[in-house]
Structure 1
Amino acid sequence: MSARVEQRALPGIGVCQDVVTRKGRRIGVLTHRDGHRELVVYDVDDPDAASDTIPLNSDEANALAELLGAPQLVRHLAELQQQVVGVLTEQLPILDGSRFAGRALGDTQARTRTGASIVAVLRQGEVIASPGPSFVFNPGDMMVVVGTREGIDGVAGILRGEED
């Protein structure tokens, strides 16, 4: 199962993006309104409290992203997102057994049904930018979805088979 990145706005502070590891540890990146970032490691006993934060300058953040395999496009979308209020970017997986594995992007009708756009697909370390409606998903693909909170949640629901 692929990890889901959760994002939340922190009014007056910036945006925090978190992920929960397989072993239940929560880590995140806090991007302040002025652009500086902090790596956040959450407390084991209180997942809402940070046990440690590590300030990162732009070069350090980019180096860490490269070490973790973040493609340039995803990073650019995250930076753009900070400038556009109400528009979010999330990565949603095509899991093994998904009804959309082996099917075309157009079959999801995601944009028509939710208003959110699938702007890229990450596949085995490669970025497929602006996939067309005939693009066929593979299990393990990670869709980069841009839209409102409701739109992204709608795409996630479609992938889970909740939206028919």
Structure 2
Amino acid sequence: MRHDFQTRSGRRLGVVSHHHGRRDLVIYDPDDPDSSRDSIALTAEESDALSELLGAPHIVEKLADISSAFAGLVGEQIAILPDSPFAGRPLGDTQARTRTGASIVAVVRDQIVHASPRPDFRFEAGDIVVVVGTPENTASVAALLHSG
């Protein structure tokens, strides 16, 4: 699948997503918009890193916008404390969505936002877990992360 866009300065960029996870960052030739000037192959991990670098400053802002746009939903930030039963364990072990109905949408570690963390993402003490749900659901996630 290919996604293209044009920058404000008129340059065309694109991303080609392959079924096996590789993505190609494409820089189109300014003189021939149908021809690429350069293409950079990225692994799934490199794609994730690039999207985090590009999107990290905006994720928390977007969560605030989502909270105000959807009445009844809130975004909460919950710290993983050193004595949390989930410190050092993968997100999937929490079964947070199934147990509480709230969604863990990001984890902030060392000022880096890990958006949409997968079930194998391992929590560390000091992580800030960003949760979206009702006030009751997000409180349940906080209780879960703090006491199991």
TM-score, length-normalised on structure 1? 0.55
Q: Which has the larger radius of gyration?
A: 2
5+ residue gaps in structure 2? 1-55
Q: Does 1:85 align with 2:81?
A: no
Q: Does 1:101 align with 2:93?
A: no
Partners of 2:123 and 2:79 in 1: how far apart?
10
Residue 124 of structure 1: CA displacement? 0.3
Q: Secondary structure at the match of 2:78?
A: strand
> Partner of 2:59 in structure 1?
73
Counterpart pick for 1:124 among 100, 110, 117 = 110
> Partner of 2:10 in structure 1?
none
Q: Does 1:159 align with 2:145?
A: yes
Instruction: Letter of the 2:143 partner, please give it.
Output: G
Partners of 1:75 and 1:138 in 2: how far apart?
24
> Partner of 2:131 in structure 1?
145
Counterpart pick for 2:119 among 112, 133, 148 = 133
CA contact (8 A) 2:81 2:146 kept: no
Residue 71 of structure 1: CA displacement? 3.3
Greater than 2 Å deviation, 4+ residue runs: none
- RMSD of equivalent CA atoms: 1.3
Residue 94 of structure 1: CA displacement? 0.3
Residue 96 of structure 1: CA displacement? 1.2
Residue 156 of structure 1: CA displacement? 0.8
Instruction: Letter of the 1:109 partner, please give it.
Output: Q
Q: Alpha-carbon deviations, 1:102-125, whole Å to 9, x = none?
A: 000011111000000000000001
Instruction: Letter of the 1:144 partner, please give it.
Output: V
Counterpart pick for 1:113 among 99, 102, 108 = 99
Partners of 1:160 and 1:80 in 2: how far apart?
25
TM-score, length-normalised on structure 2? 0.60
Identity within the alignment, %: 55
Residue 160 of structure 1: CA displacement? 2.0
Residue 98 of structure 1: CA displacement? 1.3
